Amino acid sequence: MNHGVRPEVPKSPITRESLRELWQFFGYLAPYRWGFALAWSCLLINAACGLAIPWVGGQLIDTAQRGLESGGTGTGALTQLAWILAGVVLVRILFQTLQIVWSGRLGEQTMCDLRRDTFTRVIQLPMGFFAQRRVGELTSRISGDLSQIQSTLVSSIPQFLTQLVTLVGAVLLLAITSPRLTAIVLVLVPVAGFTARMFGQKARALARESQDRLAETNVVVEESLQGIGTVKAFAREDYEAERYSQGLDRVLTAVVRGARHQAVFSAAMSLFFMGILGSVLVYGCHLIQAGELTVGQMSQFLLYSMSVSMSAGQLARLYNELQRMLGATQRVRELLREPTEPDPLVARRGGVQTVDPTAQSRSPAPPPRILGKVEFRDVEFAYPSRPEVPVLQRLSLTASPGQRIALVGPSGAGKSTVVSLLMRFYQPQSGQILIDGRDVRDYPLRGLRSQLAIVPQDVLLFGGTIAENIAYGRPDATQHEIELAARKAHAHEFIAGFPEGYQTVVGERGVKLSGGQRQRVAIARAILRDPAILILDEATSSLDSESEYLVQQALETLMEGRTSMIIAHRLATVRRADCIYVIRDGEVVEAGTHEDLLQLPEGLYRTLSELQFTHEVAESS
């Protein structure tokens, strides 16, 4: 059993609209049109040679029979036909090989273009899109749907054209060879095709069921391995093994049911085709006895009949593949039609939004450095996925250039949402967000974000080296600059302790580093970025006391001369802020320095501070 079964792509009926969707993708073939023209010319030559082989074979048999009847004459003609047959076979093999090689290479180049453009399009979509989509769904579209398109483009469509040419040509040659026998084939083959379609629909339903059961077992594997610590902590290995075993039993039941249906289907098809063959043989022998058909023509007819039956069966299968391709193209086109964030580096190719290669190679001039004055004026916001739940309500706050402000408040108050709006991940429903007195929407998006840096609470590192992760915001940074940023973040000491140093591969999502180490790498990344506005979202939450002390020193240096926005639950980390904004239910309810807010007798900040102090005293005792 293959546990790596690719999820089945839903089929789409062949309609004018679905074909129009498919036609959009043929724009990707335009750069390689002459190559595809040569590949499909080879395809037609291959099909023509396939149709010529039964005719030459029939002529060989008739020539041999005439030679036998005439006492052995006609050997030269027999040899000539044999050489013709060998030549046709060799030509067919040659052009079949060329067609496969060219179609494969050109199809892969086309799919590389489509994969590149689809992924580029996806990562330029706004954050609201990702909030309403699962990562698994998007991964499926980029991998499964595009793989289905590739399979159909590289393999199924050439095969479809080959089988179609073969079917039409074989039927015409059947009619030329013996119209009476052709009538038998044309009556019985459609009956067999209809039966095959009925069985095929049931077979596909059973195949989908077995894939669904297999997917359920894979979910058990994924959940168990992702939460292996929890599984072992609660000693639930036996439970998870039993869950997986029960899933496999359901898979086995579905597969066996499908195998039984397949056996009945194969038996029925064998019965039909043997019936067709038997009918042709019996009636053909009568025609030979009557002198209306030669033995060679009979053999030729049988070979063409086999070609018709095989081509009809292949066309039915390839028709289903084409429907799946149409379903995949519609799903991919949905992604390509999604509106991107402003000023994406895309152009149009063949009716499809794609990356502009000249834009990628350009090095845009860096925007003038902003001073860093930030203003929120009566901002109201609700996430697109929950428009009925307001997150920010007439929120106003100000940060002067070089000032340190802190956002504190209960969980869910809207602190991180303020940062998301400043980064332009979302747009507020009303109000204004200004930087240096200019609406953030008036800044080029990439230029604005190039002057912001964020150190989040949950640091995500990419699966490259430590040096690559530090330089993520400045790919042109030198090794000296990377090391200098790491020293300022107090990360150089532990990095130098690794055998590979800065070339140490951090693993997927940085799993080879501890939480504190990942945090310091993220801080080094922000230091190297040299932003005008710095955002610290619980930036020291994952550090032990010693690391926190070292990183706080680094952050003090980093925050000098730049506007800093600090989000924190631990109030001890924001005491030195120039202004603390206390947010509750999406509104600023208090603002001032640490000392000023503690003077408010019924203030929320004072209440939070006293609760944290009491909790810390209780923990220390």
Measure CA 294 to chain center: 58
* pLDDT score of 270: 74
* pLDDT score of 377: 93
Burial of 216 from C-beta contacts in 10 A (0-12 / 13-18 / 19+): middle
Residue 5 has pLDDT above 70, yes or no: no
Q: 245-254, 349-358, 362-371, 473-482: which has the minimum mean pLDDT?
A: 349-358
Could you give the percent of the chain with pLDDT greater than 90?
A: 8
Tokens found for residue 282: 């019996």
Residue 360 has pLDDT above 70, yes or no: no
* pLDDT score of 286: 82
Most confident of the following: 327-331, 537-541, 588-592? 588-592
* pLDDT score of 68: 66
Residue 398 has pLDDT above 90, yes or no: yes
Are the beta carbons of 421 and 379 closer than 8 angstroms?
yes
- Strand, coil or helix: what is 30? helix
Residue 82 has pLDDT above 80, yes or no: yes
Most confident of the following: 191-200, 227-236, 322-331? 227-236
Q: 33-42, 52-61, 245-254, 259-268: which has the minimum mean pLDDT?
A: 259-268
Q: What angle do CA 389, 391, 396 make, to 5 degrees?
A: 145
Segment 453-457 shows an average pLDDT of: 83
Instruction: Tell the residue number behind the tokens 């810390």, with chain if given.
Output: 616
- 217 CB-near residues (< 8 Å, 6+ apart): 244, 247, 248, 250, 251
* pLDDT score of 510: 62
Burial of 379 from C-beta contacts in 10 A (0-12 / 13-18 / 19+): buried
In single-letter form, the type of residue at position 166 comes to: T
Segment 86-96 shows an average pLDDT of: 89
Residue 531 has pLDDT above 70, yes or no: yes
* pLDDT score of 544: 63
The model's confidence at residue 17, banded by pLDDT at 50, 70 and 90, is low
Residue 354 has pLDDT above 50, yes or no: no
* pLDDT score of 546: 66
Q: 142-156, 443-457, 496-510: which has the minimum mean pLDDT?
A: 142-156
Question: Which of 200, 167, 190 lies closest to 11, judged by CA?
Answer: 200
- Encode 59-88: b = buried (16+ Cβ within 10 Å), e = exposed: bbbbbbeebeeeeeebeeebeebeeebeeb
DSSP structural state of residue 547: H
| Segment 549-581, tens digit of pLDDT | 776 777 777 787 889 998 877 776 788 889 999
| Segment 270-316, tens digit of pLDDT | 777 777 777 778 888 888 888 787 888 888 888 887 777 777 767 76
| Segment 142-180, tens digit of pLDDT | 776 777 777 777 677 777 788 888 888 888 888 888 888
Which run of H or E residues covers position 536? strand 533-537
* pLDDT score of 444: 87
The model's confidence at residue 362, banded by pLDDT at 50, 70 and 90, is very low
Give the C-alpha separation, 435 to 562, whole Å.
Answer: 13
Indicate the average pLDDT of the chain: 78
Give the C-alpha separation, 123 to 130, whole Å.
Answer: 9
Segment 40-56 shows an average pLDDT of: 84
Which run of H or E residues covers position 581? strand 579-584
| Segment 460-492, tens digit of pLDDT | 788 788 888 888 888 888 999 999 988 888 888
* pLDDT score of 614: 60
Give the C-alpha separation, 177 to 96, whole Å.
Answer: 27
Beta bridge partners of 527: none
**CA-to-CA separations, 86 to 20, 305, 608, in angstroms, rounded:** 44, 22, 91
Residue 74 has pLDDT above 60, yes or no: no
* pLDDT score of 90: 92
- Strand, coil or helix: what is 563? strand
